[in-house]
Amino acid sequence: MSEKGDNAGGRLLDVEDLHVEFRTRDGVAKVLNGVSYHVKAGETLAVLGESGSGKSVTAQTVMGILDTPPGFVTGGAIRYDGEDLLTATEDRRRQLRGESMSMIFQDALSALNPVYTVGFQIAEQLRTRRGMSRKDATARAVELLDQVKIPNAKQRVKEYPHQFSGGMRQRAMIAMSLALDPELLIADEPTTALDVTVQAQIMDLLDELRRDRGMGLILITHDLGVVAEVADRIVVMYAGRIVESADAYGLYEQPGHPYTEGLMRSIPRLDLKGQDLETIKGLPPNLMKIPSGCPFHPRCPRAEDRCREQVPEQHQLGSGRTSACHFAEELMTSE
C-alpha cells in the first residue's frame, strides 16, 4: 500500500457525503443522497438494501465506471488510500482499476466475453498491464483458477464461459478480478441466481481470499442471510442514504432502524416453519419524488408526524453504531 500519510486509521477507502443524480428525460433522480462509509485493509464491509437503494451506484462511482450521462456526481469525496479519486485524471483512475481496486459484477455470464476462452480473458490483463508473455500469463491464469478452486484448471483455462456452470463462472470472475493483486475488492451481488449450497461456497471462498491476501472487501447484497458469518461491519441503505451502520454482531442482535428490523423479519427461519413470511409493506420510493422527512416513513410502522416532516439525523449509538431514525435510542433500549 502506498504511504500517503493521510490515510486516517488505516482506512483503505473513504466515501464521504457522496451525492449522485441521474438526469433523464422524465426528470432528475436523486440516486445517492449523502452516502458515507469506509473500509479498512483486511476488513469485510457488507452494504445491504433493496434494489434501487443505491448500493451498486455507489460501487460504480468508486470504481469510476458510472455512466455519464445519465449519472453525475454532484457532491462529496471518494478517497482511496488518501487520494481523492473524484479529482484524479481518467488515466489515473484507469491505472487504479484492476491493480488497486477491482470489482466482481452481478451477472458473470454477461460480464465474460462469450467468444474468448476464460483463460484468455484472465491472461489478457496480465499481458497488457504486467507485460507478461502469453505463456507466462496463461500459466498464471491456471494458478488463479486453481486458487478459486476450479477443478482441473489446466483444462478449464481453455474452455469458454458457456462451458462453465453458474458457480464456476462466478469463480472465474473472482479469479479475473484478483489477477493484478488488488488491495480492495468489491463484490456486487456475487451470489445472485446461485443455489444455496453454491452461495455458501462462494461466500466462504471470498472470505478465505480476503484473509489470505489481506484485502479490503465490500459485499453488496440485499440478503442479510448471505453475509451473516463473513461481514465485520454492515451499512444499510435506503433511498440513496445510509440508514444504519453497525458491527455485524450488534446489528443482528438488535437492529437500530425500523427498515433493518423489517429486513431481519423477512429472513426465512427454520423455527417458524409453516408461518407466513413477514414482508416490508409498500414499495421503495420513486427517486424522482423522494418523500419529505424520513424517506422510509410511508412504509414504517412507527411513523409519526415528525417522521413526515423532519429528515432524521445520524444518531450515534455507541461502539461505532449509527442510525438515521428519530426513535433510534428507543429501538436500542426496547426488548
Residue 69 belongs to some domain of the structure: yes
Written as nine digits, the cell of 147 is 486458487
Orientation of helix 118-130 relative to helix 134-147, angle to 10°:
120
Residue 77 belongs to some domain of the structure: yes
Asked if 103 and 59 touch (Cβ cutoff 8 Å), the reply is yes
Residue 173 belongs to some domain of the structure: no
Angle at the Cα of 234 from the Cα atoms of 207 and 205, rounded to 5 degrees: 10
- Number of structural domains (the chain) is 1
Residue 166 belongs to some domain of the structure: no
The CA–CA distances, whole Å, from 142 to 59, 84, 91, 128, 324 equal 29, 35, 30, 17, 47
CA distance linking residue 294 with residue 327, whole number of Å: 12
Q: Which domain holds residue 76?
A: 8-112+183-333
* pLDDT in the model for residue 7: 53
Written as nine digits, the cell of 125 is 490483463
Amino acid at site 169: R
CA distance linking residue 251 with residue 8, whole number of Å: 25
* pLDDT in the model for residue 65: 94
Residue 299, domain CATH: 3.40.50.300
Is the entire prediction scored with pTM above 0.75?
yes
Asked if 317 and 328 touch (Cβ cutoff 8 Å), the reply is yes
Residue 101 belongs to some domain of the structure: yes
Residue 213 belongs to some domain of the structure: yes
The label of the residue with cell 439525523 reads 313
**Burial grade of 135 (CB within 10 A; 0-12, 13-18, 19 or more):** exposed
Asked if 48 and 234 touch (Cβ cutoff 8 Å), the reply is yes
Write out the chain's pLDDT in tens, 335 residues: 334 444 555 789 999 999 999 999 999 999 999 999 999 999 999 999 998 999 999 999 999 999 999 999 999 999 999 999 999 999 999 999 989 999 998 877 788 999 999 999 999 999 999 999 999 999 999 999 999 999 999 999 999 999 999 889 999 999 999 999 999 999 998 887 778 888 888 999 999 999 999 999 999 988 787 888 899 999 999 999 999 999 999 898 889 999 999 998 887 766 667 677 788 899 999 999 999 999 999 999 999 999 999 999 999 987 789 999 999 888 887 65
Residue 148 belongs to some domain of the structure: no
Q: How far is CA 239 from the centre of its chain?
A: 16
**Burial grade of 157 (CB within 10 A; 0-12, 13-18, 19 or more):** buried
* pLDDT in the model for residue 81: 92
* pLDDT in the model for residue 271: 65
Written as nine digits, the cell of 253 is 442482535
Residue 159 belongs to some domain of the structure: no
